[in-house]
A and B are shown apart, each in its own frame.
Chain A
Amino acid sequence: MTNRWVLFVPLAIMGLLFGAFIYRLVTPAETLIRSQWIDKPMPLFDLPPATAGVEGLESSQLADGKPRLVNVFASWCIPCRAEAPQLEALKAAGVPIDGIAIRDRPEDVATFLREYGNPFDRIGSDMQSSVQIALGSSGVPETFLIDGKGIIREQHQGIILAEQVPEIIAKLEAMK
């Protein structure tokens, strides 16, 4: 044996490993998976209209100088129905909102908009969830806060609660 310190290498590796184990035991596991696109420009996409009478959604349209929301929803998603009033409230406060309908049929989207209102400027249809996956969104509903340059600033997972509406308006104001 030329170098006796080599023999301590296994012990050192074990120390590192156990350090990681201890870290993991003391920090509670976070199960929410955050998008990797925060503070990055929207991935490129061009979605057809989700139903008759609405406009489709293209990623370049999101960089028109005004901060806005992109809401990922589906007609088959029950929480999305509960979120509708909050989206209406945001719309009433002058917040532009675009929608992406996930794996949805045009007639179902139309029924959804008729029953729960239509706060959306444009609604793109994402039949294969490909844009949703590109965005790093892991469920519906999810709402992305986009600044005027089309850069994703924040990801809101789950429904927007009534008390979170003023907070979101303030955040969008701050991006102007």
Chain B
Amino acid sequence: MIAELGLALLWIAAALACLSLVAGVLYVRGGQAELAALVRPASVAQGVLTATAFGLLIALFVRSDMSVELVARNSNSLKPMIFKVAGTWGNHEGSMLLWLTILCLSGALIALFEKRLREDTLIATLAAQAALSLGFFAFLLFSSNPFNRLPVAPPDGQGLNPLLQDIGLAFHPPTLYVGYVGLSVAFSFAVGALVTREIGPAFARAMRPWVLFSWIFLTIGITAGSYWAYYELGWGGWWFWDPVENVSLVPWLAGAALLHSVAVTATRNALRAWTVMLAVIGFSMSMVGTFIVRSGLLTSVHSFAVDPERGTFLLVLMAIYIGGALTLFALRAGSVAEGKKFALLSREGSLVINNLLLTTILALVLLGTLYPIVAEAMGEKISVGPPYYNRVAGPLALVLCLVMVAGPLLSWRRDDGKRLWSRLPVAALAGAAVLVLLVVFGGKIGILPLLGMVVAAIVAVASLAPLWGRNLRRTPLPTWGMVTAHFGVAVALAGMGAESAFIKERLVAAAPGDIIKVGSYAVTFVGVKPVAGPNYTSIEGTLVARTAGGGEFTMRPEARTFPGLMGTAPTETNEAALLTRPGGQLYAVLGQPVTSDDGRADRYQIRLWWKPLVWWIWLGGGLIALGATLSLVGRAQLPGIWRARRYRKSQERFAP
């Protein structure tokens, strides 16, 4: 009964979405207030029903109900419980239901808590959100029903890609989805505001928490995804410029641009059309991202969910939403009154440059990702790899970081260059010191990693400058947030630069007792032993890493084999062993046994990397997310947080 109940709830929720949309449109076109009174409760109910349906799907996976097609295809009774639960969204239908659940819950939250907007703008926003969810309901119910029953239940399920049987999977996609779909709210706010022509500080303030909220999740999702690929794929890289990584980066870039421009709109009532445009782009890019992953348009390491027919359905949906929003923008943005003027050398000016650079990087990443498709349409086969991205995005990102040095130190409206320069000598000194150190002691370093580390030093010092000379206890939380996030960028940048400049790699065929030198470590290969896991067998190697200072650390990389279920081939994965040290990480992968000329297989391929400061990359990502969280909490309208209230008051003094 659970599956049938879930399906029924989805249909009712779809009907409610339809109701919200129709009532909302009628009200905005001059209907009665009773119509508006329908929209809020319908949005809330829709959220509750969809979330319940998703809960029921989880229950089916937990009970391993193999009569449900989705469970039979993607789960197995032998799987550990956490992976049964995670299996709910580790497949196409389940992940689309999760997507829809977040979409509807966001609508419910706006309906419940948004009080700052004019009533008609709010109803238009909720109607836009209902229109979005209606399309995805249709997609789910007509082409991807997660609750489909099988005529005959198989004895057991077909498992899950063992590569995905990892704790990272349990949280990575849902986190990214919250980020992706959270941007739908900004999209709906933009549509709502365009419909009622209410684009101003109130609209920007209503939208800002949602942008921050989804951007926090995108940041965490991308950071965690990068770490997941780093340790699970066993290739030792932390970013591959893989299409699926790129499509998560593109909404993040749009979100970063948006949360900076929305700040200008909220405080200074400028950049209004631009903010609306970015809000539309942000969610559009989220949808394009999902579409690319789900349709198999691009092949990548993530293409375990390939299906062209569903791709067509999503393409039509997206064309309607994105095309509709952009048409509305084209028709209405011209009538949006121009915002307040400002000088180029001002806080606003630096944020405009920030926005232009972010959108340029966004466009270049998108171009690189989609270029193979376009080139193939012209009869050429091309793949775009890391050299392109590093060359085009790297320098722009460095310039962006330099703008970030100056931006927070400038005042709104206008500032003068001398005053700015007087605030920078310490940062410039730090940069020069790092440059000298690297040139003298660093050996041969590529220009990008070198500049990266120098800029990181400048940004690290300058990002703290807004706190100088202030009473730290009375500094508003959003300022702390900005400082933390900008400092996080410096930390991540330093990690990226150091890792690519000073990485050491060894690949050897080692027999037990062999000592491998990598970086400042001497690693002894002790031996291998077989290990049995809950649903795999594995060969576990034992390595002992010794430092010059006498430290001794044991590392146990594994080569796992998952048995093939129901006639499928067995799958092998590598579990890298990581040794995290203050100066970086030692990364060990156990490969295939090597047969000697005399036929003995006593040696194993062992790959070792010493990656200096590599964990700073994810630490930086975490700091960025933390900074955004501080900023969000500082702006929340929670009673009792006096700092936030006071900040709002000081902000309102600025507002016209």
Contacts and interface: CB of A to CB of B under 8 A. Distances in A.
Contact of A11 (B308, B315, B330, B373): B330
Interface stretch (A15-23, A42-50, A86-94): A15-23
A34 B323 CA distance: 37
Contacts of A11: 323, 326-327, 329-330
A14 B373 contact: no
B312 A7 contact: no
A10 interface: yes
Main secondary structure of the interface of A (DSSP, over half): helix
A24 interface: yes
Interface in B260-295: 273, 277, 280-281, 284, 288, 291, 295
A25 B307 CA distance: 10
Interface stretch (B133-141, B374-382, B411-419, B555-563): B374-382
B333 A7 contact: yes
Contacts of A10: 277, 280-281, 326, 329-330
A10 B190 CA distance: 15
B334 A24 contact: no
Given A22-B315, A25-B297, A1 B334 contact: yes
Given A11-B323, A14-B322, A33-B381, A21 B330 contact: no
A169 to B, nearest CB: 29
Contact of B370 (A1, A8, A17): A17
A137 to B, nearest CB: 15
Interface string A71-95: 0000000000000000000000000
A18 B312 CA distance: 11
Nearest to B333: A7
A114 interface: no
Interface in B302-340: 308, 311-312, 315, 318-319, 322-323, 326-327, 329-331, 333-334, 338
A94 to B, nearest CB: 35
Nearest to B308: A25
Interface in A36-73: none
A24 B377 contact: yes
Given A25-B295, A25-B311, A25-B315, A7 B330 contact: yes
B377 A20 contact: yes
Contacts of B311: 25
A16 to B, nearest CB: 9
B147 to A, nearest CB: 27
A33 B280 CA distance: 37
Contacts of B376: 24, 27, 30
Interface string A135-161: 000000000000000000000000000
B329 A21 contact: no
A8 B330 contact: yes
Interface in B612-631: none
A4 interface: yes
Nearest to A34: B381
Contacts, number: 63
Please indicate which of the listed interface residues A1, A22, A24 has the most CB atoms of chain B within 10 Å of its own CB: A24
Question: Is the interface on chain B under 10, 10 to 19, 20 to 34, or 35 or more residues?
Answer: 20 to 34
A137 B205 CA distance: 58
Given A7-B334, A21-B315, A21-B373, A14 B323 contact: yes
Contacts of A14: 284, 322-323, 326
B312 A25 contact: yes
Contacts of A21: 291, 297, 315, 373
A8 B334 CA distance: 10
Interface residues of A, number: 21
Interface string B219-246: 0000000000000000000000000000
Please indicate which of the listed interface residues B311, B322, B326, B370 has the most CB atoms of chain A within 10 Å of its own CB: B326
A11 B324 CA distance: 9
A24 B319 contact: no
Given A7-B329, A24-B297, A24-B377, A18 B334 contact: no
Nearest to A19: B377
B309 to A, nearest CB: 9
Contacts of B319: 18
A45 B194 CA distance: 64
Nearest to B280: A10
Contacts of A24: 297, 373, 376-377
A4 B308 contact: no
Interface string B394-416: 00000000000000000000000
Contacts of B296: 29
A4 B318 CA distance: 25
A4 B273 CA distance: 13
A34 B297 CA distance: 20
Please indicate which of the listed interface residues A11, A21, A27 has the most CB atoms of chain B within 10 Å of its own CB: A21
Contacts of A8: 330
Contacts of B322: 14
B219 to A, nearest CB: 25
Nearest to B312: A25
A22 B370 CA distance: 13
B191 to A, nearest CB: 14
A18 B308 CA distance: 15
A71 B330 CA distance: 59
A14 B312 CA distance: 16
Nearest to B376: A24
Nearest to B335: A1
Please indicate which of the listed interface residues A1, A10, A22 has the most CB atoms of chain B within 10 Å of its own CB: A10
Contact of B334 (A4, A23, A27, A30): A4
Contacts of B295: 25
A20 to B, nearest CB: 5
B340 to A, nearest CB: 16
Nearest to A32: B381
A15 B284 CA distance: 13
A18 B315 contact: yes
A20 B329 contact: no
Contacts of B329: 7, 10-11
Contacts of B327: 11
Nearest to B288: A17
Interface of A: 1, 4, 7-8, 10-11, 14-15, 17-18, 20-25, 27, 29-30, 33-34
CB-CB nearest 5 A-B residue pairs = A11-B326, A7-B330, A8-B330, A4-B334, A23-B377
Interface of B: 273, 277, 280-281, 284, 288, 291, 295-297, 299, 308, 311-312, 315, 318-319, 322-323, 326-327, 329-331, 333-334, 338, 370, 373-374, 376-377, 381
12 contacts: A7-B331, A7-B334, A10-B277, A10-B281, A10-B326, A15-B323, A18-B318, A18-B323, A20-B370, A23-B373, A29-B299, A30-B381
Given A7-B333, A24-B377, A25-B315, 13 more contacts: A4-B330, A10-B281, A11-B323, A11-B330, A14-B323, A15-B323, A18-B323, A20-B373, A20-B374, A21-B297, A24-B373, A27-B376, A34-B381
